[in-house]
Amino acid sequence: MTGGFSDLLLNVCRHPAMLLYLDQAQSRGPTSPAGQRANTGLNENLAREVLELMTLGAQGGYTQADVTEFAKALTGWTLVSKPVRERVPTLELGAFVFIPQFHEPGPRTVLGKTYAQAGEDQAAAILRDLSVHPATARTIATKLARHFISDEPPPGAVAALAAAFTRSNGSLPALHETLIGLPEAWDAQARKFKSPNDFIVSGLRLTGLNKVEDRALIAAYTQLGQVPYRAPSPKGWPDDAASWSGGDALMKRIEWAQALGQRLGSSIKPAERANDVLGPVLRPVTRQAIERAESADQGLTLALMSPEFQWR
């Protein structure tokens, strides 16, 4: 996060979890030595998701031919499995490795630019160009503005972030600095409804707990519908209020908040803690409701479920 988007993108695409999740580890060039011998096929998943989700975006101007060409360039990018380790015994299981015998030979043309046969670096060169493409700047700017400002990203904020991305060749610190400096990012009205992850983490921070049992934490994420590593699609988890604020979802939050309150009992003074955490955002009517709660656990539940705490 202190480097460049190009480095981040490259590391994501080489990560074992990504290679396995999108089946890149099994992709073979159709005319590569391994592809001809084993009659295994080309897998386009990683190439498609890089173009659609990680860089240009669905409206970024790429074609199916670009997806296929990029997928061919990516062949050979895999990880060290037990069979692969027989070829490279010095590498650890699960490490990224490029296997030339898996790579589709020949030049590749993506977005009108031809990339010479260069083994592992062929796909890396495509990724480097994608990482600084104008459409990528807009995609990343929109995602940042949506996550940190509002579900409907302000056009001015998106334009400022995209300009910073382009000006700095995708420097992530430059993006962070621009984001923090945007007046839209400091709007007094909270515009982002907390995801289950945000709610659980901030809820535990409010209570002051510094240790939670693994099983309890997993149960909380399961109950609220955002189990780590189980996003519903390669796109990841939703980042908008409508996806997390339905009636059933809110009831589950209430149940979790009640269970947390019952566990902590009278060890917390909810009104004081809410005032410390929310400060001037805490409305008098909310503070009064927490103070008038019949018990400390009920007061904690009210604090956790207050509008001021549910939105950020």
Residues of the chain above pLDDT 90, percent: 84
Task: Specify if 220 maps to a domain.
Answer: yes
Same domain, 219 and 162: no
> Residue 155: CB partners within 8 Å, gap ≥ 6?
none
Same domain, 127 and 20: yes
| Model pTM score | 0.89
Task: Specify if 17 maps to a domain.
Answer: yes
pLDDT at 86: 80
Same domain, 38 and 73: yes
pLDDT at 212: 87
More confident position, 21 or 87: 21
Q: What percentage of the chain's residues is helix, strand, coil (to nearest 5)?
A: 60, 5, 35
Give the residue from 131, 151, 171 where a domain finishes: 131
Same domain, 118 and 143: no
Same domain, 33 and 126: yes
Chain position carrying tokens 């997390």: 244
pLDDT of 37 above 90: no
Give the residue from 87, 112, 131 where a domain finishes: 131
Task: Specify if 191 maps to a domain.
Answer: no
Task: Specify if 201 maps to a domain.
Answer: yes
Domain that holds residue 268: 196-310
* 3-state DSSP assignment of residue 81: coil
Per the structure, how many domains does the chain have?
3
Task: Specify if 65 maps to a domain.
Answer: yes
Same domain, 116 and 148: no
Same domain, 63 and 139: no
Same domain, 21 and 120: yes
Task: Specify if 108 maps to a domain.
Answer: yes
Task: Specify if 289 maps to a domain.
Answer: yes
Q: Compute the residue count for the chain.
A: 312
Separation between Cα atoms, residue 97 and residue 210, nearest integer Å: 39
Confidence of residue 58 (pLDDT cuts 50, 70, 90): very high
CB burial of 253-289 (b: ≥16 within 10 Å; e: otherwise) equals beebbbbbbeebeeebebbebbbebbeebbeeebbeb
List beta partners, residue 115.
108
Task: Specify if 286 maps to a domain.
Answer: yes
pLDDT of 38 above 80: no
Give the residue from 149, 167, 186 where a domain finishes: 186
pLDDT at 279: 92
